[in-house]
Structures are given as C-alpha cells and as structure tokens.
Amino acid sequence: MSASRWAAGLALLATGACQSPPPLAPDALDWAVREASATIECGEDIIIAGQRFAVGRPVVLWTDEGGYNAYQTSIRPGSEPAFVDATGRRYSPGRQTPSQSSRTLAGPVSSDLAELGRAVDQFVVHYDVCGISRTCFEVLHHGRGLSVHFLLDIDGTIYQTLDVRETAWHATRSNARSIGVELAHIGAYPPSERVAIERWYALDSEGPRITLPERLGDGGVRTPGFTGRPARPELIEGRINGSWLVQYDFTPEQYDSLAALAATLSGALPGIRLEVPRDPSGAIIQDTLSDEAWRSFAGLLGHHHIQTNKLDPGPAFDWERLAEALSGHFEPGTK
C-alpha cells in the first residue's frame, strides 16, 4: 500500500478505539496481518511493578513474541499520532500524585508495589470499537498515540502492553489513578445504525457469532479456529449517558478473563475494590459519575462513568455478571 493510501486509512482509523461509528476502512490494515496466530506462546502471569502475578487465564506479555508493546517509541512512516510526547512515548512513566496533571511526565515513578497500591484505585473497562485486539493496538498506539495496560481479545486472551506502574493514556481524569483494559468489541450503536452490528455478526443455528471480515484473516486471535459468541444471544438495548443504544454482549471467555484479571489486580493493589458503580437502590449506574462520586469511587468502572462523551463498555456489558464472578474472589479480611 502506498504511504498516502496508508495515511488515509489511518485517518479513518483515528476515530477508532472507544469511539463510534466503527472506522473499518478496507485495506487499511494489510500491513498488520501476520502469520496464523496459533504459534503465539502465552503464559498466565501479568506484571505489576516488575513482579509476576498469576491470573490463571492466557496472558501474552509485551515482551512475548506476538505481544503488543506500548513501550516502543517508533512512529510508523506516514502516521501522525496525535498524543505522542517528544520522546515518542504514548504513556507517562510511573504515577503522578493526584495534585499533578495526569499528562505531566515529570512525576515520581512508582516502582514499588506498596507505593503503586496507594496511587491506583480504579480499573477502567473499555470496548475498542475495533472488534479484535490486534486492530485495537494498531489504532491506539500507531494511529492515535494512546495507550492502555491490557487488551482482552474475543477468545479471552489477555495482552498486557506495559507494566501497570506506568500511567497509560486511556481515560483522561482517571489516568493517574487507574489501570485500563480494552475489551475487543465492535461497539454499541443507535438502533438506526445497527447495520454496523449486522456486518460483524452472523446468525446460525446456535445464534449470533462474530464474523471477521475476510481481509482480517484470523484477526490475530490466538485460539485457532475460535468461534466467538455473545454471552447472551439477543441484542441488548439500553441508555448510556442519555443515548439509547443496541449492542451484542461480550463473549463468556472475555468475562472469565476480565474477572480473573480484576481479582488479580485487586489482590495486588487493594485500593481497587471489587465493586461496580451502583446507585443508592443498588442499581447499576449507566451515566457519568458526578465529580464527588468519581473522586470517592474505588473499584471497577466503565469509560462512560468517567467521561460524558463516552459510551463504552455499553448497555450490553453485564456488570451484574462481573460482580457475581468477582464475589467468588472476595475473601473476608483481605480487603
């Protein structure tokens, strides 16, 4: 592909992760297609402040072959990511104190687990609007110059892109105090734009399944021949930040890995409580938190709880399912 065509493709992609509608430009990702992913080795540990912690689910680290490395500072020819700093970084080393700007690079580096535990108390859930983690990393890192600690693909594989001691650029006012994960998912849409959903799913005798466009090959999905199905077969409707949206659910494999990841993070960094945003009646909150509520909230939350202009992870994200899964990880006296 020529440089100009490549750049045009990326310009379309620049509206990608965490935004809608989906920017899937034909041919834009030719260069990103790699060999069949079955060769990717994986472990089950994530890295927190330089230490390994077992998640019990497949994890590919940024240092592994086939991993996604958010530490790399190179700029792809023809791309103009908006947020790269002068050194080529798309993240801030370490963690800043709350009084400092989340984009300030000159802050104290929290390399120690206990110190990091005092700085971090939120785990932010996103969907990527890319549908697969490989595209998400290309859009976030190379296209936009942003970062997130984890990508969680449709088969439940967790990709860690950098140590959680670093401040990733994924959730504005929560960056300094949070860890982020991008769930591979094509997104939520107003009912009038549901064609975007229909392009990404097919119906067969067992219900809806994810269908990758032919140009994406196996999509970089690590599990050979994986068939991704929404955890609930029906389209889910709901209101997020005032917008009525439809969306298919995430895969069971994603919920299993997300719960395991959240429990591991909370175990190492107890400031992240295994709780989700609820109103006084116990119902899940689906709007942006007030400043006061946001300041005091320590736990798992969605991007839309942080910013009024965000919709992810959308109405189909099953917070109750996640809370139920996490309740099994709770051990009295450890929190």
Q: Name the site residues for Zn ion (rule: CB under 5 A).
A: 18, 126, 303, 312
Three-class SS of 259-311: HHHHHHHHHHCCCCCCCCCECCCCCECCCCCCHHHHHHCCEEEEHHHCCCCCC
Residue 134 or 229 having the CB closest to Zn ion = 134
CB-wise, 49 or 124, nearer to Zn ion? 124
Burial class (CB in 10 A: 0-12, 13-18, 19+), 28: buried
* Amino acid type, 324: E
- Of the pair 18, 276, the CB lying nearest Zn ion is at 18
Do residues 108 and 96 touch, judged by C-beta distance below 8 A?
yes
Kindly state the smallest distance separating residue 129's Cβ from Zn ion, in Å.
8
> Among residues 236, 253, 66, which one has the least CA distance to residue 153?
253
Structure tokens at 144: 């936009």
Nearer to Zn ion, 57 or 304 (CB): 304
Please tell me the total number of residues recorded for the chain in this structure: 335
Strand boundaries in the chain, DSSP class E: 43-48, 51-60, 91-92, 122-127, 150-152, 158-160, 167-168, 178-183, 201-204, 207-210, 236-240, 243-247, 299-302
CB of 103 to Zn ion, least distance (A): 17
Backbone angles phi, psi at 214, to 5 degrees: -55, -35
Do the Cβ atoms of 155 and 221 come closer than 8 Å? Answer: yes
DSSP state of 224: T
- Give the residue among 116, 119, 125, 129 at the shortest CA–CA distance from 148: 125
Q: How far is the CB of 13 from Zn ion (least distance, A)?
A: 15
Nearer to Zn ion, 37 or 175 (CB): 175
Distance CA 157, CA 161 (A): 13
Question: At closest approach, how far in Å is the CB of 305 from Zn ion?
Answer: 11
Q: How far is the CB of 18 from Zn ion (least distance, A)?
A: 3
Nearest-approach distance from CB 82 to Zn ion, in angstroms: 16
Q: How far apart are the first and last CA of the chain?
A: 53
Given the complex with Zn ion, which of 40 and 322 has the nearer CB atom? 322
Minimum distance, C-beta of residue 307 to Zn ion, in the bound complex (Å):
8
Nearest residue relative to Zn ion (C-beta): 18
Nearer to Zn ion by Cβ, of 49 and 132: the residue is 132
Strands (E), 8-71: 43-48, 51-60
221-238 as b/e: b if 16+ CB within 10 A: bbbeebebbbbbeebbeb
> Measured from the CB atom, is 208 or 313 closer to Zn ion?
313
| Shortest Å distance, C-beta 255 to Zn ion | 18
Nearest distance in Å: CB 171, Zn ion: 7
Task: Output 49 or 184, the one with its CB closest to Zn ion.
Answer: 184
